[in-house]
Amino acid sequence: MFFGNFRDKLIKESDEWINNEIISNAQLEKMLDNYDKSSQKKNSLGYYLLLAFGALFFGIAFMLIMSHNWDSIPDPIKTISLFTFTLAINTAGAFVFIKGKEQMGSILLLFGSIMLGVSIMLIAQIYHLGDYYPDGIYWWAMGILPIMLLTKNRFIAILFIVLSSLWMGTDFIEGFFPLSYPILATLALIISLYFEKSKALFLLSFAGLSYWAFSAISFYFANYYSHFFQDMIFLLLSSMAILSYGFVLKLSNVSNPLFPSFKKAEINWQEYSYFIFKIMLFTSLVTLFFLSYKFSWRLWDVRDINSNLIIIPVLCSIFSIGINIKNDLFSKVFISAISVYITLSIIMLSVFSLHYSTAALFTSGFLFLSGIGLIYYGIKSDRAYCYYIGLISLITLMITRYFNLIGDYIGSAIIFAISACILVASAKFWKRNQNKKLENNHE
Amino acid sequence: MNNISINSKNNRGLIIGFSLAILFQISILLVEYIGSALPIWTGQPIILKTEPIDPRSLFRGNYVALNYEINRIPFMEGAKKHKVVYVTLQIDENGVYHYESAHFEKPKHGIFIRGRIIDRHTSSRTNKKLMRVNYGIEAFFMPKEKALETERKARGKSEVIVYIGSNGKARGHSFSCLGDDCDIENDEEIVKIIPISNN
């Protein structure tokens, strides 16, 4: 079923169980209470999405007719039409929303928000506005902001954060500083944390804030006509990675959120945390894979990093480990490992001026151990993504470093043998773990 | 009864909220419209000659990139990227306007146009330090077919009617002439600018 989940499948299966008197209706109700009821909401969302697309295509057809005759329409008529359509769609959406049909109202208001942007762009075209174009994107986002706060609808919020981020990016490119972006992104983030479950919204807000932080530092310390050299970018990005992991892992275990009464029960911060963590983990492993080659370190000129600036990753590490000190063992071990790896790598190169090949070897070793750690943790806690990522990283490392990690055939043979032992051991450990769980269930 | 009063309070809040939100959206459009149209309603029309960036692709699709003689002016000390600059326009004995001087403060009299510094560079021909200034009149929108037709007629020469408000803000309005038509004299009210030789 397209919008179904486990609960819906359970309902379907239970018919036979009730007919065969395996369970009673009361027992079924009790079981179903444990599972997510939001599939009902998803079904009605599907209905409204179809309606919405239907309305959207009508709107596009109408706009195409307008575009065909655009040139022959006098400028005042064009302008009045744009004002009228924007006002009409938004008013209709607001009216429907206030009447209690929140989903339908939100869809109309989404169209109204898009219409606002279309009007801004078309007025600029009619009057040949060649002014600074990011301002148009900014005011489009600002026009949507009150609608987002009133409806707390995820689609409107996603449109808002996309526009705000577009404005942020273009402002930086043009040499301006988008000072108000953190406020806008935080508002969108709050919608995802408290009011509307949306992984896409959470990801966009979180990624936007991270990008702003990185760009703000670059903007503040780098001149208009020159930018940071690679070594500084490397330092900032790795420090930000430590901080981001710290926040994401902390999110998975927030016991006392601020303003808990505002938070919708179905919004699970742990889900968000796992979602972002998976993406970050995969990205990190790909990065580490490239860093296991010395050319990557040379590309970033890491040895040129000013040794006084080592304090940045050190402080980020202390902060990230500190906020996760009461978290579970995996979070503590993970954040400590990644912090130590990054900080030690930078210290080795910038302070002790070790060769890049040392850093590459260190990274290979770290990747090897991380793979083992992820496989172990994946099996122990039933987290398939950890297991598979650990497995893939281990296998990829072995296959690609076949020729040049140690240097000779015997060295490579030893590594392959060790890896084979690890993989066989992990398979046996997994089987033992599964058997143990089955035994516990039977008891 | 309590639920009903809470609901009506919520509804009242939503009505006020949505009314203000929609009013805000209309205000954004209104400010944009008035800002665009005000120079045309209250400003003085002048003609500026465009310099083609590339005669073969002067007009592209729906968006025409125009390059005016006043887009490149002599470098000023203290000039920084994005800084506002006011360029005064000078009339000569033929009634033609062209670049006179540039200032960071708004001039008290005369015809002037408001722009922003984009970058600075050195002319490869004269080795003089110049700066590029944009005035918000460098874009001209027209449908693709019309743009190609206009390009064909212009053959590298064109003049644009620009309206300048009392605060220096300008708006491009229409083409005054294209190609060979640019050699004929225009109305007395609208003064032509002849190009100064490339420096």
- Helix residue spans in chain B (DSSP H): 2-42, 144-154
The number of residues in chain A equals 443
Angstrom distance (rounded) from CA A394 to CA B172: 63
Sheet holding B139-141, edge to edge: B59-60, B63-65, B139-141
- The H or E element that residue A267 is part of is none
Residue of A131, A135, A149, A156 to mutate when probing chain B, most B C-beta within 10 A: A131
Angstrom distance (rounded) from CA A126 to CA A71: 10
Q: What is the pLDDT of residues B108-135, one digit of tens each?
A: 888 899 999 988 878 777 778 889 999 9
Contacts (Cβ under 8 Å, ≥6 apart) of A322 = none
Looking at the DSSP assignment, which residues form a beta bridge with residue B74? B130
Mean pLDDT is lowest, of A84-88, A220-224, B32-36, B55-59, for B55-59
Q: What is the CA radius of gyration of chain A?
A: 27
Searching chain B, which residue's CA lies closest to the CA of residue A148? Answer: B21
The number of residues in chain B equals 199
Q: Tell me the count of A-B CB pairs closer than 8 A.
A: 94
CB-CB contact of B139 with A130 (8 Å): yes
First vs last Cα of chain A: how many Å apart?
A: 34
In A121-220 the beta strands, taken as DSSP E runs, fall at: none
Mean pLDDT over residues B45-59, rounded? Answer: 59
What pLDDT sits at residue A36? 59
User: Closest Cα of chain A to B17: distance in Å?
Assistant: 7
Exposure string (b/e) for A206-245, b if CB count within 10 Å is 16 or more?
bbbbbbbeebbbebeeeeeeeebeebbbbbbebbbbbbbb
Angstrom distance (rounded) from CA A131 to CA A257: 44
**Which residue matches tokens 């938070």?**
A263
Mean pLDDT across chain B, nearest whole number? 76
**Residues of chain B with C-beta less than 8 angstroms from the C-beta of A116:** 25, 28-29
Q: Which of A232, A226, A187, A192 is nearest to A214 (CA)?
A: A232
Is A142 in Cβ contact with B14 (below 8 Å)? no
Helix axes A329-350, A356-380, angle to 10 degrees: 180
Which member of A82, A123, A130 has the closest CB to residue B138? A130
Searching chain A, which residue's CA lies closest to the CA of residue B40? Answer: A127
Is B172 in Cβ contact with A90 (below 8 Å)? no
Q: Say whether residue A91 is in contact with chain B using an 8 A CB cutoff.
A: yes
pTM of the predicted protein model: 0.78
Angstrom distance (rounded) from CA A223 to CA A244: 26
**Residues of chain B with C-beta less than 8 angstroms from the C-beta of A126:** 36, 141
Which member of A83, A125, A130 has the closest CB to residue B29? A83
Exposure string (b/e) for B102-127, b if CB count within 10 Å is 16 or more?
beeeeeeeebbbbbbbbeeeeeeeee
**Residues of chain B with C-beta less than 8 angstroms from the C-beta of A123:** 29, 32-33, 36
User: Closest Cα of chain B to A75: distance in Å?
Assistant: 11
Angstrom distance (rounded) from CA A425 to CA A421: 6
In chain B the beta strands, taken as DSSP E runs, fall at: 44-50, 59-60, 63-65, 72-74, 84-91, 97-103, 112-122, 129-134, 139-141, 158-164, 170-178
Cα B46 → chain centroid: 12
Is A125 in Cβ contact with B24 (below 8 Å)? no
Angstrom distance (rounded) from CA A343 to CA A145: 40
What pLDDT sits at residue B94? 53
Which member of A125, A127, A143 has the closest CB to residue B37? A127
Interfacial A residues in 171-200 facing B (CB < 8 Å): 174-176
Searching chain A, which residue's CA lies closest to the CA of residue B9? Answer: A98
Position B73 pLDDT exceeds 60:
yes
**Residues of chain A with C-beta less than 8 angstroms from the C-beta of B14:** 94, 97-98, 150
Which member of A71, A87, A129 has the closest CB to residue B36? A129
User: Closest Cα of chain B to A141: distance in Å?
Assistant: 10
Q: Print pLDDT tens along chain A (443 aa).
A: 334 467 777 887 888 888 888 888 888 888 887 775 555 554 566 776 777 677 777 767 766 776 666 777 788 888 998 999 999 999 999 999 999 888 889 989 998 998 899 889 888 888 888 777 788 899 999 999 999 999 999 999 999 999 999 999 988 888 888 999 999 999 999 999 999 889 999 999 999 999 998 888 877 776 543 456 778 888 888 999 999 999 999 988 876 677 777 777 778 888 898 899 999 998 998 899 888 888 888 888 888 888 888 898 999 999 999 999 988 888 899 999 999 999 999 888 888 888 888 888 889 889 888 988 898 888 888 788 888 888 888 888 877 766 555 556 776 677 777 777 777 877 777 777 777 777 776 65
Position B53 confidence tier, pLDDT thresholds 50, 70, 90: low
Angstrom distance (rounded) from CA A211 to CA A165: 9
Q: Which of A119, A134, A122 is nearest to A169 (CA)?
A: A134
Contacts (Cβ under 8 Å, ≥6 apart) of A75 = A126, A127
What pLDDT sits at residue A184? 96
